[in-house]
């Protein structure tokens, strides 16, 4: 388990290349199980969660080949661009996603819909809860049942079967906390190969759903309404192999916007889609961060100590839960009292205790956190508890007085591609301590 050592206080300056979206690439890799020929994906980030998904689809019979990097990113000191990934299904015999893989990556559930639609059978270990909450998968199962799949629980696995072909229908896919992102994608993938028409009412509108629908459409699917709460799918018999570029990672982009704001440093972010971040950029502008865009580049210009705000996480296009922890790190040094309410994962607050160890003043009341801004934070040894909470620790460490040591950074490696290289290239004093040295 590696650690990060950050000496706070450096200003940042320069350009950073935003990677392809992890949360788009994961279900898209699973959707490749449905293609008849080779699929080529560009912009797939190198992350441990992506490696786990590649490992899983290989076990499910795919050949996966990563091409060499296709040149450098043009960013001084930044990591090179990734080469494309070729995925070809060679065998359809194995239909099982084992617990060993599922327990390291909940997104393994994304293979359920594609396997049932294409192979008529799926055994997927039931993902347990994680640091951000219980995270049930009942809506995935309910949606696939409506399409005609039959399920039973066996030894901690969901065992699903289809007699003949799945059948399209009209269904409501929302739950108590609103729409489900991966649930929508799972059912949409399955419906793409079902017989007849499917209408998903209460579908998630996230850009990752749209990216997957766009790729499926290139493959020959007939999907309309992606990006709205009502997705209409006309089932087809086959999906072909295609080339597809993964959308930019809006959460990584938002994290670098906050890095710019917290260090009060102007930054240039390349390969972004600001349309995917409208709730985030509007809020940060209210806090005093100026942003301009030019094609796929965002120029971020903070204007001093941020103003406090109130924010509630919401499904897209609202403020994303995946940026709640990072925003909290910024509000810890804002000029006044801020309030954050978490509506998607009401328990997603493990970072509160760690930020308070660094001198922050955050009080939690149910799904709400009240943040009293302070003039400065102090470096401390802290723990990365989940992916986005770890990013919040890194952001806090960038401005904390003295040294911050963040343990268990494998969490951050799940979702941020080479974050320490990217930050170092911008001028941050951040070092990775490898496991053997970290323990010593």
154 SS3 class: strand
* Smallest separation, CB 138 to ligand EPU (Å): 5
Q: How far is the CB of 183 from ligand EPU (least distance, A)?
A: 5
Using a 10 angstrom Cβ sphere, with 0-12 exposed, 13-18 middle and 19 or more buried, the burial of residue 335 is middle
One of 118, 140, 146, 276 touching ligand EPU (CB under 6 A): 140
- Residue recorded with tokens 């591609």: 417
Which residues, other chains included, contact 318 with Cβ-Cβ below 8 Å and sequence gap of 6+? 279, 312
Q: Are 310 and 339 in contact (CB under 8 A)?
A: yes
Asked if 344 is part of the footprint of ligand EPU (rule: CB under 6 A), the reply reads yes
- State which of residues 321, 324, 326, 338 lies at the interface with ligand EPU (CB under 6 A): 321
Q: Any bridge partners for residue 159, and if so which?
A: 123, 152
Question: Which helix H or strand E contains 364, and what residues bound it?
Answer: strand 361-365
Stretch that binds ligand EPU, among 31-39, 212-220, 222-230, 314-322 (CB under 6 A): 314-322
> Of 63, 138, 243, 376, which lies in the binding site for ligand EPU, with binding defined by CB under 6 A?
138
Report strand pairing: 361-365 vs 310-312: unpaired
- Strands of the 222-224 sheet, one edge to the other: 170-172, 197-201, 230-234, 222-224
Q: Are strands 39-42 and 243-245 parallel, antiparallel or unpaired?
A: parallel
427 binds ligand EPU (CB under 6 A): no
User: What token pair was written down for 123?
Assistant: 């055994």
Q: In the complex, what is the shortest distance from the CB of residue 142 to ligand EPU, in angstroms, rounded to a whole number?
A: 8
Indicate which single residue of 211, 249, 322, 342 sits in contact with ligand EPU (rule: CB under 6 A).
322
Catalytic hit among 130, 212, 253, 272? 130
Q: Are 324 and 387 in contact (CB under 8 A)?
A: no
**Exactly one of 139, 246, 400, 430 binds ligand EPU (CB under 6 A); which one?**
139
- Nearer to ligand EPU by Cβ, of 46 and 305: the residue is 46
Our answer to whether residue 130 is catalytic in this structure is: yes
Choose one: 36-44, 132-140, 192-200, 240-248; the region binding ligand EPU (CB under 6 A): 132-140
Which residue ranges make up the site for ligand EPU (CB under 6 A)?
A: 23, 26, 107, 133, 135-140, 175, 177, 180-183, 204, 208, 320-322, 344-345, 387-388, 415
Catalytic residues: 130
């Amino acid at each position: 388990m590696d650690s990060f050592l950050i000496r706070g206080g450096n200003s940042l300056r320069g350009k950073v290349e935003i990677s392809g979206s992890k949360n788009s690439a994961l279900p898209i890799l699973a959707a490749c199980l449905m293609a008849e020929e080779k699929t080529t994906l560009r912009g797939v980030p190198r992350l441990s969660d992506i490696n786990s998904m590649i490992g899983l689809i290989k076990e499910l019979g795919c050949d996966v080949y990563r091409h060499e990097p296709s040149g450098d990113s043009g960013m001084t000191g930044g990591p090179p661009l990734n080469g494309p990934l070729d995925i070809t299904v060679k065998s359809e015999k194995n239909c099982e996603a084992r617990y060993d893989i599922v327990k390291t990556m909940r997104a393994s559930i994304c293979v359920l819909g594609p396997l049932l639609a294409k192979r008529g059978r799926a055994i997927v270990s039931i993902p347990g809860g994680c640091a951000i909450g219980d995270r049930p998968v009942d809506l995935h199962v309910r949606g696939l049942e409506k399409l005609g799949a039959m399920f039973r629980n066996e030894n901690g696995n969901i065992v699903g079967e289809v007699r003949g072909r799945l059948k399209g229908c009209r269904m409501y896919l929302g739950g108590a906390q609103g729409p489900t992102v991966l649930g929508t994608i799972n059912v949409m993938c399955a419906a793409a190969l079902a017989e007849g028409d499917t209408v998903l009412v209460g579908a998630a509108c996230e850009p990752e759903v749209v990216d997957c629908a766009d790729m499926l459409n290139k493959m020959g699917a007939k999907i309309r309404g992606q990006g709205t709460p009502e997705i209409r799918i006309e089932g087809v018999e086959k999906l072909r192999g295609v080339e597809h570029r993964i959308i930019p990672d809006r959460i990584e982009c938002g994290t670098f916007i906050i890095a710019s704001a917290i260090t009060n440093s102007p930054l240039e972010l390349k390969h972004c889609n600001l349309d995917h971040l409208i709730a985030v950029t509007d809020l940060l502008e209210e806090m005093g961060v100026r942003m301009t865009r030019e094609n796929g580049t965002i120029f971020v210009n903070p204007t001093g100590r941020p103003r406090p705000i109130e924010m509630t996480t919401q499904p897209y296009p609202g403020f994303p839960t995946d940026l709640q922890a990072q925003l909290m790190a910024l509000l810890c040094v804002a000029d006044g009292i801020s309030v954050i309410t978490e509506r998607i994962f009401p328990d997603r607050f493990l970072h509160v205790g760690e930020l308070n160890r660094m001198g922050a003043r955050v009080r939690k009341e149910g799904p709400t956190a009240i943040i009293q801004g302070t003039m400065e934070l102090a470096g401390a040894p802290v723990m990365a508890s989940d992916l986005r909470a770890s990013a919040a620790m890194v952001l806090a460490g960038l401005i904390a007085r003295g040294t911050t040591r963040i343990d268990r950074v494998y969490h951050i490696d799940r979702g941020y591609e080479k974050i320490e290289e990217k930050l170092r290239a911008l001028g941050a004093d951040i070092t990775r301590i490898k496991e053997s040295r970290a323990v010593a």
